[in-house]
Amino acid sequence: MQKIGFIFDLDGVIVDTAKYHYLAWKKLANELGFEFTKEQNEMFKGVSRKRCLEILLDIGNITASQEQFDTWMVDKNVDYLAYIENMDESEVLPDVPRVLSYLKDNNIPIALGSASKNARPILEKVKLLSFFDSIVDGNNVTKAKPDPEVFLIAAENLGVQPSKCIVFEDAVAGIQAANSARMISIGIGDEKVLSEAQFNFNDFTEIDDDFLVKLLS
């Protein structure tokens, strides 16, 4: 049997950081004189920080010089880091530790595949860093999801064939990235939104051992 690997997205799969990203983007939008809604924040899931700022400025009809753009990127991240400063294990989404422990107990390699440049400190804060054999994040990629680069690097790091990798994702762009990498895509969240996923669950409480056994066989 060929080796199987699991790849987890971070934001919206392991921890609910979308609310903090939202607060930081909203603060910047308000400072620039316009509103930014929770509905608009949906477009930012799985999307790189740079691309998020481009979309935000489009929403506000703002043209920025390169210097302003770079300053706002930094400002947003400083605010985001302040919001997540006191994050701890209580913010891990339900049953994520159970699934990670199950995989670890069965010696299955686990990677993180995230667009975030803050992935490592977040995993440290929520005390899950030790579960991961490889961490591929926004610091290691040149192409953002839906490009499959992040997941292909993760597969290579784990020493697993892409077709033997299973990806958990909450963002449409992430599901598309997993599909183009020819991996098994599992959507975490609304089935209607993540309709391109091969399997879908609202959250990890719906993923039982039987399903994991099926994936491993």
Catalytic residues: 9, 11
CA distance 187 to 201: 6
Q: Which is nearer to ligand G6P, 47 or 100 (CB)?
A: 47
117's contact among Mg ion, ligand G6P, none, with CB below 5 to 8 A by partner kind, is: ligand G6P
44 binds ligand G6P (CB under 6 A): yes
Counts for the chain of helices (H) and strands (E), in that order = 9, 6
Could you tell me if 185 and 172 are in contact, meaning their C-beta atoms sit under 8 angstroms apart? no
Smallest gap from residue 71 Cβ to ligand G6P (A): 15
207's contact among ligand G6P, Mg ion, none, with CB below 5 to 8 A by partner kind, is: none
11 binds ligand G6P (CB under 6 A): yes
Burial of 155 (0-12, 13-18, 19+ CB in 10 A): buried
Smallest gap from residue 9 Cβ to Mg ion (A): 4
Element (H, E) at 103: helix 96-105
176 binds ligand G6P (CB under 6 A): no
Figure out which of the listed residues 110, 118, 125, 187 binds ligand G6P, where binding follows CB under 6 A. Answer: 118
CA distance 175 to 178: 5
- Cα distances from 183 to residues 25, 116, 155, in angstroms, run 32, 21, 10
Smallest gap from residue 19 Cβ to Mg ion (A): 13
Residues that bind Mg ion (CB under 5 A): 9, 11-12, 46, 170-171
Burial of 187 (0-12, 13-18, 19+ CB in 10 A): buried
Figure out which of the listed residues 112, 115, 126, 194 binds ligand G6P, where binding follows CB under 6 A. Answer: 115
Smallest gap from residue 210 Cβ to ligand G6P (A): 30
Q: SS3 for 129?
A: helix
Residues that bind ligand G6P (CB under 6 A): 11-12, 21, 44-49, 52, 77, 114-118, 138
